[in-house]
Amino acid sequence: MSTTSSPRATATAGAEELAALRAAVRQVCSRFGHDYYLRTSAEGGNARELWTALGEIGALGVAIPEEHGGGGQGIEALAVVAEEVAACGSPLMLIALSPAVCATMLADHGSPAQQQEWLPGLADGSKVLAFAITEPDAGSNAHNISTRAVFEDGAWVLSGQKYYVSHVDNADAMVVIADAQGGPDQLPPGPKAFLVPTEVEGLSRSEIAVEIISPERQYSLFLDRVRVPADAIVGGERGLGVLFSGLNPERILSAALLNGISRYAVDKAVAYARDRVVWSEPIGAHQAIAHPLARAETRLTAARLLTLEAARAADRGETGGVAAAMAKLEASETASLALDAAMQTHGGNGMAREYGLATLSGLVRLFRIAPVSSEMLLNHIAHKALRLPRSYR
């Protein structure tokens, strides 16, 4: 596993602190649950009530440094939050974006002024950042982005198109990845991160309809000479370093959300399998029902261990790319398997909205594609861990 240093080496929270955090998040989420998640998604809401409640107990800011209003506990603690939120039936994708990708980039690479402006609000949930990297012609290949930032008359001017930008309708600003060079610091060419307000001249968006039940909606963004100040760039010439400091936490947090979904599905299925009798025994006595659930529980245990390993590597200041890739790959496949087994256990009720399983199908399927696909994770593991040659440049 990779040991390259990143600027952040966060003190890992102790077991007692993490247990207390887990209990506090569970208590908050028990007031919401899957019915709330469905309702807020159906009504075009943004789960703001749950987000605010999590912010109030400091759960969204656990990985943000204490001097900026956070808990200073690291990615392992944020993964605990994500897993518990999802295990309660409200898997908020936004946790993998605003407090994970964006806050980590700013904490690791932001200027003091950017950190002061954004981190306290991200920590208490009063501010939200979206993240825009994907483009129609550059999905898995982020090196191929065509959005450009050109320095003109003392400002960066961004032009291009992004798509599948989650939750930008409810964000204060977003981190946009654009190719840039030059500027006051004579930057070399390559991808750089820019803070761009969501309400700014030249920026327009259109919603992409997707078959996923979630409070986060998806947008295409069109940047037509969007001007942002010279100091909107995050981390200056450390372009790729800035990007990667956010992408591993995104993978780890995605894995944690998926582990929470797997727990939710297995717990529901086990309860149902114990109760439901159609012959003389509860259906859980039939091995055809019990074994898929036992397999899901085993895979879930493995996925949680991989996620823990990846989170701890991140908190030790290592890039830990292989660990994060393995965690996200295993967690996404496990969640598919667990949800499927839970639906099968429920028979016809597996398809009923009331039982809250089929409602997660789109989301669980999504996570084998985004934020990074299983194929790209396998490419990374094959290349970095096994030293196999790459099939693409």
Binding site for ligand FAD (CB under 6 A): 97, 131-134, 139-140, 164-166, 210, 212, 218, 366, 369-373, 375-376, 379, 392
Residue type, 67: E
Taking alpha carbons only, the member of 21, 18, 92 closest to residue 50 is 92
Taking alpha carbons only, the member of 30, 24, 110, 32 closest to residue 71 is 24
What minimum distance in Å lies between the beta carbon of 13 and ligand FAD? 27
Residue closer to ligand FAD by CB (options 161, 349) is 161
The set of residues, in sequence order, having a beta carbon less than 8 Å from that of 82 and lying 6+ positions away, is 95, 96, 253, 256, 257, 260
Q: What is the CA radius of gyration of the chain?
A: 21
String of DSSP letters for 263-310: HHHHHHHHHHHHH-BSSSSBGGGSHHHHHHHHHHHHHHHHHHHHHHHH
What minimum distance in Å lies between the beta carbon of 378 and ligand FAD? 8
Residue closer to ligand FAD by CB (options 14, 190) is 190
Structure tokens at 119: 């981190």
What minimum distance in Å lies between the beta carbon of 166 and ligand FAD? 3
Residue closer to ligand FAD by CB (options 166, 345) is 166
Structure tokens at 361: 């199908």
Residue closer to ligand FAD by CB (options 132, 232) is 132
Rounded-to-integer distance, Cα 108 and Cα 238, Å: 11
Cβ–Cβ < 8 Å for 68, 123? yes
Residue closer to ligand FAD by CB (options 146, 298) is 146
Residues β-bridged to residue 166:
218
Rounded-to-integer distance, Cα 55 and Cα 361, Å: 28
Structure tokens at 28: 């908050």
Residue with the shortest CB distance to ligand FAD: 139
For β-strands 173-180 and 203-208, DSSP reports them as unpaired
What minimum distance in Å lies between the beta carbon of 155 and ligand FAD? 23
Residue closer to ligand FAD by CB (options 94, 123) is 94
Cβ–Cβ < 8 Å for 162, 133? yes
Residue closer to ligand FAD by CB (options 294, 369) is 369
Residue closer to ligand FAD by CB (options 296, 327) is 327
Residue closer to ligand FAD by CB (options 57, 366) is 366
Residue closer to ligand FAD by CB (options 142, 290) is 142
Cβ–Cβ < 8 Å for 257, 378? no
Rounded-to-integer distance, Cα 279 and Cα 282, Å: 8
Taking alpha carbons only, the member of 116, 107, 128, 200 closest to residue 158 is 200
The set of residues, in sequence order, having a beta carbon less than 8 Å from that of 151 and lying 6+ positions away, is 157, 180, 182, 183, 184, 230
Rounded-to-integer distance, Cα 265 and Cα 243, Å: 33
What minimum distance in Å lies between the beta carbon of 96 and ligand FAD? 9
What minimum distance in Å lies between the beta carbon of 381 and ligand FAD? 12
